[in-house]
Amino acid sequence: MKYRILFFAGFLLFLFGCNKDNLVPIPSAGPNAIIDETLPIKMLSRPLMEGVYRVISGSSMFGGTVVVKWNRTGLSFSCYNGIHFVMEAGHLDSVVFIQGYWRDGYSDATGLCSMEIKKAEGGSMIVSGNGTQKILIRGAFGNGNGIPDQAFSLEYMRPFSDKVKNANFYILAHRAGGRTSDRLPVSENSIEMINFTEKLGSTGVEVDVRLSSDGVAFIYHDPDINTRLTKKGPLAGPISDYNWLTISSFVRLIHGEKIPTLEDALNFVVDSTLLRFVYLDMKASKEAMAVVVPIQQRVLQRAKNKGRDLMVVVGIPSSAVLEDLMTYPDYQNIPSLCELTVDDVKKVNSKVWAPRWTLGTQNDLVQQMHKEGRLAVCWTIDSPLWIQNYLNNGLFDGLLTNFPYVAAYYHYIQE
């Protein structure tokens, strides 16, 4: 009886234990929100709003240009310096209203933003889908939950270039869409993060794959259970030492989410997002392919059945994982991504080569991959300067980053 009481006491501490502040709260417009009263922008009209905008007011904060791009749930504004906007848009009559918040990805700075496109300044053209593409977005931004009181205005400059429109470029977000350490509103490697990351400009994700002691594949980055990634609970030590029932019952991610199985996470990508690329970073190496590859195949078939253009590749980060893949029947026909040498890429016929960004653009090897019908993506690149350099001077088909909105800015602004 004594041990049972201690167990339940520990379980209650797990459920209600205090954690340090691990997020930057999302500002709320509260009673000043108007989006719920508006009508949605028609799908055919949304591309008319996309493009490169000149900053008329607010350039000292956001730079001289802003990229505006629709995502699955709203509008993304991306700036050169890591400041980005998560916005929603709708219309009343011929006026377009845009509301949301801005966030500096390299700090905790954030605030509300409220804007509109008047009827004569592009609103009528957007709502009807006809007319000259001359758009002025006028509004203001604030700090925290304060009322937006600093002028912020944008003027449409140009659409995305043909280079951008014709590129099948992947903006891949780390750890299912973003790191917990960047104090996002949802936890890394969670379904909630997968659902959120498109708001940041992501078109694909990398997830970290581990196996429970009874052979269930799930996504989680670190080898151990710790308070960096999880709430305080009754379990400790290597997470793969526990069976899946124990993990799913007693471990909660830092913002309270359950750790998802790999199959549940991938099915969510197929069913509920527009993401086009999933990179399975294999943290488990021993006999993991026998578990993961059948999941990959089922998910790819699910995507095909739904008409989804989705690439799901098994990552090969080490020689141990490479050897594990090569034990699988018909391994050369399993879609994979190899982080090792180009010779290893050929050995297992990987669809994607993924070198570390510190090795340089390696354009000669990237071109070699392209000639062989393969893709090349680079990991994990976070500095705005280096992201700009790789996009301007490299030939990669995608970048893996913790700051997808920075990659989005430098990708979409290319001429």
Structural domain boundaries in the chain:
30-159, 165-412
Q: What is the pLDDT of residues 299-319, one digit of tens each?
A: 999 999 999 999 999 999 999
pLDDT at residue number 291: 97
CB 176 within 8 A of CB 197: yes
Q: How confident is the model at residue 13 (pLDDT cuts 50, 70, 90)?
A: very low
This prediction's pTM? 0.92
Q: Is the pLDDT of residue 366 over 60?
A: yes
Pairwise CA distance, residues 163 & 18, whole Å: 50
CB 26 within 8 A of CB 185: yes
pLDDT at residue number 22: 65
Q: Cα 380–381–384 angle (5° rounding)?
A: 160
Beta-carbon contacts of residue 343 (< 8 Å; ≥ 6 apart): none
* Helix axes of 289-305 and 262-272: crossing angle, nearest 10 degrees: 20
Tokens of 292: 């993961």
Q: What is the pLDDT of residues 38-96, one digit of tens each?
A: 999 999 999 999 999 999 999 999 999 999 999 999 999 999 999 999 999 999 999 99
pLDDT at residue number 240: 97
Nearest to 262 by CA among 304, 223, 216, 309: 216
Nearest to 375 by CA among 166, 170, 161, 165: 170
Beta-carbon contacts of residue 251 (< 8 Å; ≥ 6 apart): 225, 230, 233, 235, 239, 259
Pairwise CA distance, residues 77 & 46, whole Å: 14
Q: Is the pLDDT of residue 1 over 80?
A: no
At 228 the three-state DSSP class reads: coil
What single-letter amino acid sits at 143? N
Tokens of 297: 């195949």
DSSP-assigned letter for residue 241: G
Q: What is the mean pLDDT of residues 142-155?
A: 96
Tokens of 69: 């791009």
What is 165-412's CATH topology? TIM Barrel (3.20.20)
* Residue 89 parent element (H or E): strand 83-92
Q: Residue 291: is it exposed, middle or buried by C-beta count within 10 angstroms (0-12/13-18/19+)? A: middle
Q: Cα 79–384–160 angle (5° rounding)?
A: 50
Pairwise CA distance, residues 287 & 294, whole Å: 13
